[in-house]
A and B are shown apart, each in its own frame.
Chain A
Amino acid sequence: MRNLSLIAVVVLALTGCMSNLESRKISGTDLSPLKSFYVQKRTEDERGIDRLIADRLTLMGFTASHGTDGPSAPVDAIVTYQDKWWWDLTMYMIQLDLQIRDAHTKMVLANGQSMRTSFIRKSADEMVEEVLTEVFKGVRR
């Protein structure tokens, strides 16, 4: 029994605490002129992640709206995202990928990703904050 407990602890330690936070800017891209954003709601999203992203962008000092039909007024950039969820006693967001796209060409200007397994899970709002902070790190606003 004691040996099994030890193995269980090792397994949990090796599998339960994986995380990754990264962002990437496309060569020649300057995010500092971007002031207004439209968060394009993912068709399958039933948790309102688009609203969380728009709210966080607003808190960061940008103008942001969200929805499915496109922006009602011209914006500087479109935000797209992919949220992945996993079950471990409760459902939690295991990964969030986010792309900042040029409003005219749809080209990705920058992207970010946060991945957290169950033991070090964060709320969806905290995952959104983590990714956006990483994407806009060092950008003069």
Chain B
Amino acid sequence: MPGDTKTRVIAALAAPAAVAFAWYLAAHKPGETGLLPPCLFHLTTGLHCPGCGGTRAAYLALHGDLSGALRQNAFFIALMPLVAVYLFALTRYAATGTWAPPKITGRNLTVVITVFVIGFAILRNLPGLEFLAPTPLP
């Protein structure tokens, strides 16, 4: 059954918005130019959240520097294909009314991923594991 028009219009805007943001990000170096707010969690606590370095990673990836991107936030880059599939699902919903988002299911898998995300958040703040934390862009 097709969804209601309002949500379909919003869904239709998601993918173009993401492309527009990627376009904007490619032209603005994070931390130097542009309206790219820093992470509020990092700003208030000084710690790195699991998403910290994500903007820098995306910026480097958009400029073809994949190893640099992985260095900033490998988890963020690993999540990007999933986000792409999600955007595709949203666009498909806007076009056809069929809502079929990607899913991560399974009793063990969901727990493993939860532990992984929280573990990543903790580990990248520990001394000796600085290679997991993002660095300022050169």
A interacts with B: no
Could you tell me which A residues sit within 8 Å of B by CB distance? Answer: none
Could you tell me which B residues sit within 8 Å of A by CB distance? Answer: none
